[in-house]
Structure 1
Amino acid sequence: MTDSLGPRLKVGVVVPSTNTSAQPELEALRPHQVTNHIGRMVIGDDSMVDEPGFDHVMHSIRNSTHPAIKSVVSCNPDTVIIGVSPESYWDGPESHERVLASLREAAGGLPVIMSPDAIKAALAAYGARRIAVITPYLPVGDDSVSRFFKDSGYDVVRIRGLGMPSPAKISHVSQTELRDVIKEIDGPDIEAIVQVGTNVAMSHVAAVAEFWTGKPVISNNTVLYWHALRQNGIHDRVHGHGSLLSEH
């Protein structure tokens, strides 16, 4: 027998306990008969203003990710989204492959969706290599994100951090602030704008911004969900949330 509410796909989603943006944004993207099921990595709302603080947050995430995955896989999802960004980028592409393998093992072999793989798939769909990147971080986090994309073969023309001092504060970034930073980093020398950080509520702003930038604006939560759907055979065109879900 299949799940009565999610017969097409059950998506496990793991997010930090400080994250209040990913769950509502992903709920808004669900096609018919697809359901989301949330597990939380228990972390504190600790400072990320310097490298020791950022390292402490990273350590908390690493310690809590596997237990959170195990808490969600007991509902037998078909795939698991890891809705956290710093771990994905901190030590570069080679480290990411090791992290991904470890998380798949914790998920009992289920497909695991992480931001770098989803963003690479989206940029390939658009044929984009020259990018501008928005992060929620201060420079200590921006440097790792920029280095990851450069090491992955992308031309990072500009990167802007929103300067949020702690994990929970990331959700406080307003739509006006997001609009302004998109305008700041846009230009004729880039092919796409990429936003990382799942606690930034940017899916709506990104979809609207595509109209006045005339190019893809890829928000982290939207691209994670798009990749999870497509990797699991769900090819519905979901409208109203940007070109990625409606055209690819």
Structure 2
Amino acid sequence: MNQSIKIGQIVPSSNLTMEREIPAMLRARESIFPERFSFHSSRMRMKKVTPEELKAMDRDSDRCAYELSDAAVDVMGYACLVAIMAMGKGYHRESQERLHRITVENGHPAPVVSSAGALVDSLKLMGAKRISIVAPYMKPLTKMVAEYIEAEGVEVKDYIALEIPDNLEVAAQDPMNLVDIYKRLDLKNIDALVLSACVQMPSLAAIQRVEDECGIPVLSASVATIHQMLVQLGLEPKVPNCGTLLAG
């Protein structure tokens, strides 16, 4: 029997979605590949998605990295996109390096990906020069996310801010609502559609359906995170029914 690959996640205390969507994607992958996975989390306190709470939460990420490193996880994901982006343009590189250094110091070196870095890197890998995005955040935070992505060389042509400040309410959204919501975006001449630029807003159930419907590559922050985790583990980044990025 294969030993499980240990997936570690640093999650906001109020985040539910990444502990649902990440296992769901890897369980789907298990139907076509031999590798097996187990899932382990450490939490940073955060209830409201505000700049103040995000900054305080990010300071907690070092402790989480130590905790997950104690469990000798094989890869670690920082599962909050907006917390990283709120810390300033390009911050995902600094965060990933620092958290990886903690795993080395703690004697259990593990690659570290962040959902923010994974989204940016995945868009570049896909050759996406112009995108549109859906986010649950208030308009100022959504604008900040768009500007962070643009600083990485990808134009955000259009975005929808659903303006849901409470993080638990974000997790309670029906992903199939996105099948209608995305139609309000300007999709002309874009190279990719980010159906959820937030790892707390569920979108997995809608990704393939929206891609099939609009004919544009569709991804989310959580899909990008799984792609980068699999790449870091040296595994084929392929998961059925999760859109172009994970199509193999």
- Determine the structure 1 residue equivalent to 2:51: 55
- Determine the structure 1 residue equivalent to 2:214: 213
| Matched AA of 1:104 | H
Residue 182 to residue 40, structure 1, CA distance change in 2 (3 Å): same
**Does the CA contact (< 8 Å) of 1:37 and 1:72 recur in 2?**
no
Q: In terms of mean alpha carbon deviation, does 61-70 or 11-20 score higher?
A: 61-70
When the two structures are superposed, what TM-score results if normalisation uses the length of structure 1? 0.87
Give CA deviations for 1:159-179 in whole Å, capped at 9, x if unaligned: 111211122221022224322
Alpha-carbon shift at residue 75 of structure 1 (Å): 1.6
**Where does structure 1 differ by over 4 angstroms across 4 or more consecutive aligned residues?**
none
Alpha-carbon shift at residue 237 of structure 1 (Å): 2.9
Alpha-carbon shift at residue 188 of structure 1 (Å): 2.0
| Matched AA of 1:198 | V
Residue 64 to residue 102, structure 1, CA distance change in 2 (3 Å): same
- Determine the structure 1 residue equivalent to 2:69: 73
- 2:159, 2:215 → 1: CA distance? 19
| Matched AA of 2:42 | R
- Determine the structure 2 residue equivalent to 1:12: 8
- Determine the structure 2 residue equivalent to 1:120: 120
Superposed, 1:81-120 pairs within 5 Å as 81-108=77-104, 109-120=109-120
- Percent of paired sites with the same residue: 20
When the two structures are superposed, what TM-score results if normalisation uses the length of structure 2? 0.87
Residue 38 to residue 161, structure 1, CA distance change in 2 (3 Å): farther
How many residues are aligned here?
A: 237
**Does the CA contact (< 8 Å) of 1:14 and 1:40 recur in 2?**
yes
Alpha-carbon shift at residue 93 of structure 1 (Å): 3.1
Alpha-carbon shift at residue 155 of structure 1 (Å): 1.1
1:189 is paired with a residue whose SS is coil
- Determine the structure 2 residue equivalent to 1:162: 162
List alignment gaps of at least 5 residues for structure 2. none
Aligned with 2:43 (options 29, 41, 44): 41
Give CA deviations for 1:117-175 in whole Å, capped at 9, x if unaligned: 32233223322111001212001211210110111111110011121112222102222
Alpha-carbon shift at residue 5 of structure 1 (Å): 3.5
Structure 2 residue 234 is the aligned partner of structure 1 residue 233: yes
Alpha-carbon shift at residue 236 of structure 1 (Å): 5.5
- 1:148, 1:100 → 2: CA distance? 16
